[in-house]
Amino acid sequence: MASLRIMLIRGSLLVNMLVLTYLCITWLSVSEHRTPNSPPSQSHYRSLEAIVEQVSGRSPLYSPPYDSKRNEVPLEVLRHNEDKLSSASIKDSGTGNVDVIRDDQATREDIGDPDKNDMLLDGKTKGSKEESAIEKANIALAERESQLKMNPYYDPQFKEPPREVQESQGVTEQLHALVIPTDAPDPPPDSLEKKMYPDFRGCASRPLVPFHSQHGEFWILENYIPAALPFRCDESITYTTHGDYTFLDNLETLTSRWQGPVSISVYAPGNDFEVTISTILYLRDCWAEGIKKFVTFHLIYHTDHIPKKIPTTEELLGRKMDCSVEPPKWSNVTTYRQQKKLLYPVNVARNVARRMASTYFVFPSDVELYPSVNFIPEFFKMLKKPDVSNTTQPRVFVFSIFEVEESSSPPETKAEETKAELIKMLDSKKAIPFHQRVCASCHNIPHSK
């Protein structure tokens, strides 16, 4: 009885093994799998991984085996060598092979006719025979196209992803894509930046959002007309300044030399408000691209001299200026402030422009003073240098100011060349220290001759 039970158990195990073997064989025979001669799936053709493999040469496009007796060549090989066929000499060796002869003796491809004698075609002396060889290549190309269309995996709608999509995934015409850093490298530990401004890289950027506030006797429209190009707080330096609309023409030269954000407060009481808006919009749209790109305007007016109408920021930015008409007059005019003999709120204007700066570092200055070319990159380069002082107390950087003759232009070269050029202008009296004839002791340069 026991032996019968053991035989039944062994028999059931044997049956189970046979069934399992049958199922495995059936699954392997019907499942889709890739072999050296089987085409990849359509999804593989569409994947970016396949594109990377194709560009780098690690995995060529699939091409089914071809028969040399039929004088066929894979379509992909023909496409790859089209430029070689058009510019190289072709030699039929009579064995069914056409030798593609270049200066470096390139490879041979099976696109010839075994019934033809040896021939050497150079495109000049054997024109008719060369045309015959090229025609055979075209016939083989057409036949291969028709075979591809019969392939169930052929998709005529398939297109390579756009170049920008490929480049975003690291696919380039080079074998290896270069890694471009997105953040600036950390400065040396002993640098001025690390020692004096440890919170610089962690500062918070502020958006240029328009809003209004009251400060004593003045209403302030902050970010009333914002710059088109925003900056991160650690990306640049803000030039802060102020004036009324008669000084705004200086912004053209200022922005072209500064090449960074500018925050300017404009005093516009009463009727000066509308003229100020017209001047700003004309300068932004018609005068200089840098004004629209870099300058953010804050308008100030007195509580006793409120403008008749105050448009919204959206309304102003939607206006289209006619650049063919004469620009608004901003010189040789009598302003509303002058007519009413109003005091100019210099401290309020300075503080508003500085407070509204969107960067960590600010450069307060006069709107009629022009900064040195490349000031911003040179300043950040200075911050990377070692600091030799023995203090970590907050500090400001003071810059010397010079006046140049009206017929002369400020230096516009590199930093080291600018200094040499400035010294020449000082020696020739074409440039003098700022306000030397008004208050020489007020702007003395330490240790200067």
Q: pLDDT-based confidence at 133, cuts 50/70/90?
A: low
- Count how many domains the chain has: 3
d(CA 107, CA 116): 20
Closest by CA position to 366, among listed 396, 395, 352, 346:
346
Whether residue 226 lies inside any domain: the answer is yes
* Contacts of 205 by beta carbon, 8 Å cutoff, 6+ apart: 231, 232, 233, 358
* Residue-wise pLDDT tens digits, 361-384: 999 999 999 999 999 999 999 999
Question: DSSP for 360-379?
Answer: SEEEE--TT--PPTTHHHHH
**Both 321 and 248 in a single domain?**
yes
**Both 372 and 421 in a single domain?**
no
pLDDT more than 70, % of the chain: 64
Whether residue 192 lies inside any domain: the answer is no
Given a cut of 90, is residue 171 above it in pLDDT?
no
Sheet holding 295-302, edge to edge: 211-215, 218-225, 295-302, 262-267, 237-243, 361-364
Q: Which residue has the higher pLDDT, 147 or 175?
A: 147
**Both 239 and 339 in a single domain?**
yes
Whether residue 158 lies inside any domain: the answer is no
Going by their DSSP bridges, the two strands 295-302 and 262-267 should be labelled as: parallel
pTM over 0.85: no
Other CB atoms within 10 Å distance of the CB of residue 379: 16
* Residue-wise pLDDT tens digits, 334-370: 999 999 999 999 999 999 999 999 999 999 999 999 9
Whether residue 53 lies inside any domain: the answer is no
Whether residue 181 lies inside any domain: the answer is no
**Both 436 and 333 in a single domain?**
no
- 264 SS3 class: strand
Closest by CA position to 295, among listed 253, 331, 323:
253
Instruction: Name the region of 49 (left: φ>0; alpha: ψ -120 to 50; beta: rest).
Output: alpha
Whether residue 246 lies inside any domain: the answer is yes
**Both 368 and 405 in a single domain?**
no
d(CA 443, CA 400): 8
Give the domain range for residue 375. 211-383
Given a cut of 70, is residue 106 above it in pLDDT?
no
